[in-house]
Amino acid sequence: MEQGRGCDAVQPHASAHPPGPARIPDPARSPEQRETAGPDRGEHRRCEPAAGTVRPVSGGTGIPAAPETKQVRRHSVRGQILDALRTALVDGELVPGEVYSGPSLGERFGVSATPVREAMQQLAVEGAVEVVPNRGFRVAERSARELAELAEVRALIEVPVMLRLARAVPADRWAELRPLAEATVSAAAVGDRARYAESDRAFHGAVLGLSGNQQLVAVADDLHRKAQWPLVSAPVTRRADLLADASEHTALLDALIARDLTVVQSLVREHFTGAPG
């Protein structure tokens, strides 16, 4: 095969060896060694896009916009897809009870089915979806009862911790969390549910992080994430509801700074039972 024929020149034996996943170039080999040993990790075959190439998503919804952008490593692609799928869950784009296949979602995001399946497997571990053999993944259907149970468990875990921290943590440490509380207000003000969900968990995680117990933080974050998934046929969360929920963060900080344990306990319990989560 002649040199200079575009992508065909990269793989002279394409018919004998189907293309595998993109690999990372080995900097230890010289150009002459690479030419002798075959294609480096990372060289693309048959003019296919890189396995780590992701199209940009529009509006934070997980729906791909037009052209391909920068190349990223495979684990980064999986992380980007996982974030986009979580956003789609919070926004209700992935409908509870519906089944989605890896190839169809891969086409939607402009990537292969592999990172989509890997991300979906993580969501299955988290309980957001369930595996449907030979079909794909079904989005979990949650009931109002399950949401109430999650709120109860979160309260059992977080309320005692926050009351203990309220007695021990100095006011200046609580004041350092003010930007995180304000970030939830900013997201709520524009009705950005996905950004609000992330900032909401960041605030709660920072509060619990003052306990120094990382296992507690991880368990609480898992429960919090589950509480943010929409119910079947649930109405769209109104901006006013988000703002009311966000305002409780700043009120909670004020109570923690003042060491008003009664208000802290009341606010935390009310916050868990509110609609936005």
On whether both 134 and 190 belong to a single domain, the answer is no
State residue 139's pLDDT score: 92
Out of 24-28, 145-149, 253-257, 266-270, the most confident range is: 253-257
**CATH number for 88:** 1.10.10.10
What the block records as the tokens of 36 is 């002798």
On whether both 156 and 258 belong to a single domain, the answer is yes
Of 19-23, 170-174, 192-196, 265-269, the one with minimum mean pLDDT is 19-23
Of 139, 173, 198, the position where a domain reaches its end is 139
On whether both 149 and 203 belong to a single domain, the answer is yes
Of 119, 139, 159, the position where a domain reaches its end is 139
Residue 211 has pLDDT above 90, yes or no: yes
How far apart are the C-alpha atoms of 66 and 235, rounded to whole Å? 30
Neighbours of 231 (CB within 10 A): 15
Residue 4 has pLDDT above 50, yes or no: no
CB 263 within 8 A of CB 255: yes
Residue 106 has pLDDT above 60, yes or no: yes
On whether both 165 and 243 belong to a single domain, the answer is yes
On whether both 12 and 104 belong to a single domain, the answer is no
CB 105 within 8 A of CB 93: no
Beta strands 136-139; 99-100: pairing state? antiparallel
On whether both 236 and 122 belong to a single domain, the answer is no
On whether both 17 and 72 belong to a single domain, the answer is no
Residue 140 has pLDDT above 60, yes or no: yes
Beta strands in 108-172 (DSSP E): 129-132, 136-139
Mean pLDDT of the residues in the chain: 75
State residue 89's pLDDT score: 87
On whether both 79 and 107 belong to a single domain, the answer is yes
pLDDT digits (tens, 9 = 90+) for 218-265: 999 999 888 887 665 555 567 788 888 899 999 999 999 988 888 988
Residue 46 has pLDDT above 70, yes or no: no
State residue 217's pLDDT score: 96
What the block records as the tokens of 144 is 């109002």
How far apart are the C-alpha atoms of 204 and 185, rounded to whole Å? 14
What the block records as the tokens of 5 is 């024929």
**Domains in the chain: how many in total?**
3
How far apart are the C-alpha atoms of 201 and 272, rounded to whole Å? 12
CB 24 within 8 A of CB 42: yes
Q: Which domain holds residue 166?
A: 144-273
CB 174 within 8 A of CB 166: no
CB 24 within 8 A of CB 73: yes
pTM, two decimals, is 0.64
On whether both 105 and 218 belong to a single domain, the answer is no
Of 88, 115, 139, the position where a domain reaches its end is 139
Secondary structure of residue 124 in the 3-state scheme: helix
On whether both 226 and 167 belong to a single domain, the answer is yes
**CATH number for 166:** 1.20.120.530
How far apart are the C-alpha atoms of 25 and 34, rounded to whole Å? 10
On whether both 9 and 33 belong to a single domain, the answer is yes
On whether both 204 and 108 belong to a single domain, the answer is no
**Of 35, 28, 27, whose CA–CA distance to 10 is shortest?**
35
Q: What angle do helix axes 261-273 and 144-168 make, rounded to 10 degrees? A: 160
